[in-house]
Chain A
């Protein structure tokens, strides 16, 4: 039995963040890790985003909102083992988390104004990076409460890897209205947009208004005014988030599938994490096709011709898939030197029940391995 880099991370880290492109099995990896940590005796929380219904069901998460809930012991019954520490799970509701944040940090008389402002709606739902920001924000809050020994965070499917790492800065940028104040100053003073041609900001504003319409700018300035009192609070939290991400007790788990496109993205992501000085614990390659053993061919030779043909065709296909995956993994290792790569085989069916999570964790932790 060998142990993997994830085994020591699971025993020592306080926060593990699973990152990667959409559809590679991040949620499964996150849930497996938290499950395993709880079984091994650390109070764990898995914070997921939009999990498959059956995965949510298997964790006893049906119909739960934005708070953490203990996974009932009955959910683990099919495994025939008992967790030595409690396992918690939650589904992150992005919009709700944003609204909670505003409710907490906004002065009472500004709350409603902010929550109903169109720019806030855009910030909380549509602004690129805002989902990433709010999940980081939630993580920071959960970590600060310090009620779990390990938090495993699943992350939103990121179209652009940069969104994730840039999110705190980007959102801060939005909220930092020094620039806005300067540009909008005449408008704010007059209570409407300054339109003087002789004033530089007036001129720029006119051109902008041609683009967006004046009412849009008016509403933006209203929003800026409403949130201006909250800036320091936001900045402090964003600093906290950044410190947390760089903290040695936080680790990133990069999840990918062996598909060449996904591998390219994983390599790109790895480079960015390194640039940001964030520690990558391991690269998990999910759904790897193992090479069918040689002995199977000999065995197949004993079958009737039709069946033999069918079996051999299947074996040939599996061989091609295994070769493709193997070549991809070799490239991945070359592109990310020094990062442990952990392979999880493709299971026959979709991985959604607790048994499959457990099986996944056995590969993640090195109890079993694809050689």
Chain B
């Protein structure tokens, strides 16, 4: 398997609540540690990645968190402004047009424009060059929206290419689509928990991205898995201690559920699966992210 380090755009998605931001933060940290200039992009969220890494929130400007690691919260209004300036070239003209109340009203309702500018900003950073002419960032980690929103978000370029008449919007969309579907550039990482709905949503997301957008899944993460601990013999021996038996049985069942979820994901995704065990730390901060990073090492390097 080619590791994530062979790709430049790492997209992390899955059902809400599965720990996308945790995984995105761990992957970004791994990339930075490998010496890659890394930008982690959150899409209009509450900026969890910087919080997990115990750094001040990045906000809408690209901000250096630590060695090789930058973060940005991509927000619609700022992204729209940047895009508007790119198209119109002059600040004064931008102000006349885009800060017109009526125009703002229109911009809100142009189908998919908001998604287009959000994605557009991320794609811009992917192609951005530093003063030396080399890419400003080696790796872009996108903490993408949850399943339903992710499908519409990542399909936007494809949909626009198909439906919008030739023009600036469709040209932008075409460029973005080409990067998104290029497996040499983009790696899609799906995150799930060992529970029914998160696994199903990961599979749905996988199928939708493959069929609608032609993005293939690079790998999957089974997060918060309980490792196997109690054998059948253990459970039997505990029968005389009903309450302890219940504790052991619950653990055993959760571990079994993780194995089942893992098998289901592997069978249906045809992509390598990496398991991150449930962590038991009182505070979920940097230490926890570093532990998660350890478990994702083979996924990043491609060495198993």
Partners in one complex: yes
Q: Please give the residue numbers on chain A whose beta carbons come within 8 Å of chain B beta carbons, in ascending order.
A: 21-24, 52-54, 118-119, 121-123, 125-128, 157, 159-160, 173-174, 179-180, 182-183, 204, 207-208, 210-216, 220, 257, 259-262, 264-265, 292-293, 295-296, 299-300, 302-304, 307, 310-311, 313-318, 320-321, 323-324, 348-350, 352
> Given A208-B97, A216-B169, A292-B247, 7 more contacts at CB 8 Å?
A54-B196, A119-B109, A126-B112, A210-B87, A220-B106, A260-B284, A348-B249
Q: Interface centre among A123, A304, A317, by most B CB within 10 Å?
A: A317
Residues of chain B contacted by A300 (CB below 8 angstroms): 244
Residues of chain A contacted by B166 (CB below 8 angstroms): 213
A-B contact count (CB 8 A): 161
Q: Are A320 and B282 in contact (CB under 8 A)?
A: yes
Of the residues B148, B237, B280, contact of A157 by C-beta under 8 Å: B148
Q: Are A211 and B102 in contact (CB under 8 A)?
A: no
Q: Interface centre among B103, B111, B196, B243, by most A CB within 10 Å?
A: B111
Q: Is B130 an interface residue (CB 8 A)?
A: no
Q: Are A296 and B243 in contact (CB under 8 A)?
A: yes
Residues of chain B contacted by A212 (CB below 8 angstroms): 110, 113, 167-169
Size bracket of the B interface: 35 or more
Q: With A23-B17, A216-B165, A216-B169 as known contacts, state yes or no: A314 contacts B251, CB within 8 Å.
A: yes
Q: With A22-B15, A262-B17, A314-B247 as known contacts, state yes or no: A211 contacts B46, CB within 8 Å.
A: no
Q: Is B84 an interface residue (CB 8 A)?
A: yes
Q: Are B251 and A307 in contact (CB under 8 A)?
A: no
Q: Are B97 and A204 in contact (CB under 8 A)?
A: yes
Q: Are A310 and B196 in contact (CB under 8 A)?
A: no
Residues of chain B contacted by A127 (CB below 8 angstroms): 109, 111
Main SS at interface, chain A? helix
Q: With A173-B105, A352-B196 as known contacts, state yes or no: A22 contacts B248, CB within 8 Å.
A: no
Q: Are B169 and A261 in contact (CB under 8 A)?
A: no
Per the bound structure, the CA–CA distance linking A311 and B238 in Å amounts to 10
Q: With A213-B170, A314-B248 as known contacts, state yes or no: A128 contacts B114, CB within 8 Å.
A: yes
Q: Is B145 an interface residue (CB 8 A)?
A: yes
Q: Are A179 and B102 in contact (CB under 8 A)?
A: yes
Q: Are A157 and B16 in contact (CB under 8 A)?
A: yes
Q: With A21-B17, A211-B169, A299-B243 as known contacts, state yes or no: A310 contacts B152, CB within 8 Å.
A: no
Q: Are A213 and B164 in contact (CB under 8 A)?
A: yes
Q: Are B87 and A257 in contact (CB under 8 A)?
A: no
Q: Are A299 and B111 in contact (CB under 8 A)?
A: no
Residues of chain A contacted by B112 (CB below 8 angstroms): 122, 126
Per the bound structure, the CA–CA distance linking A264 and B45 in Å amounts to 12
- Bits for B134-173, please: 1 = Cβ < 8 Å to A, else 0: 0000000000011011001000000000011111111000
Q: Are A52 and B197 in contact (CB under 8 A)?
A: yes
Q: Are A183 and B102 in contact (CB under 8 A)?
A: yes
- Closest A residue to B76 using CB positions: A128
- Closest B residue to A264 using CB positions: B46
Task: Give me 28 A-to-B residue pairs in the complex whose CB atoms sit less than 8 angstroms apart, sorted by A's number.
Answer: A23-B197, A23-B198, A122-B112, A126-B112, A157-B16, A174-B108, A174-B109, A180-B106, A204-B100, A207-B97, A208-B106, A211-B168, A212-B113, A213-B165, A213-B167, A259-B17, A260-B284, A292-B247, A296-B247, A300-B244, A303-B244, A310-B230, A314-B251, A315-B247, A323-B282, A324-B282, A348-B254, A350-B196
Per the bound structure, the CA–CA distance linking A204 and B21 in Å amounts to 40
- Closest A residue to B104 using CB positions: A179
CB distance from B204 to the nearest CB of A (A): 10
Per the bound structure, the CA–CA distance linking A352 and B200 in Å amounts to 14
Q: Are A207 and B106 in contact (CB under 8 A)?
A: no
Q: With A23-B198, A159-B146 as known contacts, state yes or no: A210 contacts B88, CB within 8 Å.
A: yes
Closest 8 CB pairs of A and B: A22-B16, A213-B167, A23-B17, A122-B111, A207-B97, A215-B165, A320-B280, A23-B16
Q: Are B168 and A157 in contact (CB under 8 A)?
A: no
Q: Are A314 and B229 in contact (CB under 8 A)?
A: yes
Q: Interface centre among B21, B102, B278, by most A CB within 10 Å?
A: B102
Residues of chain A contacted by B254 (CB below 8 angstroms): 348
Per the bound structure, the CA–CA distance linking A349 and B194 in Å amounts to 11
CB distance from A73 to the nearest CB of B (A): 26
Q: Is B48 an interface residue (CB 8 A)?
A: yes
Q: Are B106 and A183 in contact (CB under 8 A)?
A: yes
Q: Is B296 an interface residue (CB 8 A)?
A: no
Residues of chain B contacted by A350 (CB below 8 angstroms): 195-197
Q: Are B114 and A211 in contact (CB under 8 A)?
A: no
Q: Are B164 and A216 in contact (CB under 8 A)?
A: yes
Of the residues A22, A213, A311, contact of B168 by C-beta under 8 Å: A213
Residues of chain A contacted by B84 (CB below 8 angstroms): 211
Per the bound structure, the CA–CA distance linking A352 and B97 in Å amounts to 52
- Closest B residue to A304 using CB positions: B237
Per the bound structure, the CA–CA distance linking A250 and B105 in Å amounts to 32
Per the bound structure, the CA–CA distance linking A302 and B96 in Å amounts to 79
Q: With A23-B198, A314-B248, A324-B282 as known contacts, state yes or no: A307 contacts B16, CB within 8 Å.
A: no
Q: Is B253 an interface residue (CB 8 A)?
A: yes
Q: Is B9 an interface residue (CB 8 A)?
A: no
Q: Is B234 an interface residue (CB 8 A)?
A: yes
CB distance from A303 to the nearest CB of B (A): 8
Which residues of B226-280 are within 8 A (CB) of A? 229-230, 234, 237-238, 241, 243-244, 247-251, 253-254, 257, 278, 280
CB distance from A130 to the nearest CB of B (A): 11
Q: Are A307 and B17 in contact (CB under 8 A)?
A: no
CB distance from A205 to the nearest CB of B (A): 9
- Closest A residue to B111 using CB positions: A122
Q: Interface centre among A123, A182, A216, by most B CB within 10 Å?
A: A216
- Closest A residue to B105 using CB positions: A179
Q: Is B1 an interface residue (CB 8 A)?
A: no
Q: Are A23 and B229 in contact (CB under 8 A)?
A: no
CB distance from A276 to the nearest CB of B (A): 20
Q: Are B48 and A261 in contact (CB under 8 A)?
A: yes
- Closest B residue to A120 using CB positions: B111
Q: Interface centre among B17, B44, B250, by most A CB within 10 Å?
A: B17
Q: Are B102 and A182 in contact (CB under 8 A)?
A: yes
Q: Are A216 and B110 in contact (CB under 8 A)?
A: yes
